[in-house]
Amino acid sequence: MAVNRRDLIDAVFHNEKTDRIPLGFWHHFLKDETGSDAFSHPELTEKVLAGQADFYKAFQPDLIKIMTDGYFSYPVESLKNPLTGPQDLKDLRTLGKDSDWFRFQIGYAKKLVSLYGKDVQLFYNLFAVPRTIEFMQDTAGHPVDLAEWIREDPEGTAHVFDVISEDYSILAKALIEEGGVDGIYLSVNNISYDRVSEEDYAKYVAPYELKILEAANEAKDNNILHICGYHGFRNHLEWYKDYPFLAVNWAAHVEGISLKEGKKLFHDKAVIGGFGQTEQDLIYRGSEEEIRKETERILTDTGTTGVVLGADCTIPRDTDIRHLEWIRRATEEFVK
């Protein structure tokens, strides 16, 4: 029996059998998604909304990851200045729900929910605190070494993560309860593959990622964890296997961990991905035959229960929509 796209994602996220495999691909809509400031330039949000509308019309995705181009920053001036360590942020305080940082993002979420929420589930992209700090320092031309922060002043670093994650946890809950989104899509990574130990990560980083996920779960237990492997960044995936999420996405091609292997690692949770996400991967340059064969290979290996076909991360902006349609047709033929 055919089900609508909202019900389809519910079924897949709960490892129920379905009559087709959903697809979840997404890309950025601003040229400079990290450095653009939609808080100071609200017109940028209109560009993102227009881009989202074009993509939705062309592709008809089975779920929407709400792209937060223009909202990557945390509006505290001290984070825009060169930072030598967490001591530079020792006086950091939370923003509060009346700030533009909250109001603008909840308003943005509401617009997208009003446009697409009846048809598909929407998941709001949030970055764990280390990524936010790195984005802002990189944009300002002052790359920061958070692994060194943890080595030199772990408690001070944890304090910074705690303060900012408090706002993120409140935002995550408000996006679901007030903004109407179906869940969050929380992006995390190891900070450094070989310079932060599992013990230090568990003590000084993980609690502030878990705070965000747990706040979102209080509102709705329907959230996605993304373990980011963008630009080839490696992660110890096992560090996240007990995080409280309903579905998980990681860079299978970067990590060398297939969807099948990941399902075992993550206690048979629903998985999202399967395809590489760069200009060198099939999603971008493959022929119809190659893409169809790869779709069949992934599903043969992984199975068809609890699987959303997607990519390691955000796909290139100019990816040919026909490539995504080839995947969709191949999945339809596979389940028949």
Q: Which helix (H) or strand (E) holds 293?
A: helix 288-302
Domains delineated in the chain? 5-335 (3.20.20.210)
Q: What is the pLDDT of residue 215?
A: 98
| pLDDT tens for each residue of the chain, 336 residues long | 457 999 999 999 999 999 999 999 999 999 999 999 999 999 999 999 999 999 999 999 999 999 999 999 999 999 989 999 999 999 999 998 899 999 999 999 999 999 999 999 999 999 999 999 999 999 989 999 999 999 999 999 999 999 999 999 999 999 999 999 999 999 999 999 999 999 999 999 999 999 999 999 999 999 999 999 988 899 999 999 999 999 999 999 999 999 999 999 999 999 999 999 999 999 999 999 999 999 999 999 999 999 999 999 999 999 999 999 999 999 999 986
Q: d(Cα 62, Cα 23) in Å, to the nearest integer?
A: 6
Q: Tokens in use for 121?
A: 């589930």
Q: What is the pLDDT of residue 4?
A: 94
Question: Edge-to-edge strands of the sheet including 270-275?
Answer: 23-24, 307-311, 270-275, 247-250, 224-227, 183-188, 121-127, 63-66
Q: d(Cα 293, Cα 330) in Å, to the nearest integer?
A: 8
Q: Tokens in use for 229?
A: 């492997």
Q: What is the pLDDT of residue 2?
A: 54
pTM > 0.95: yes
Packing angle, helices 100-116 and 43-59, rounded to 10: 30
Number of residues in the chain? 336
Question: Nearest CA to 58 among 329, 319, 331?
Answer: 319
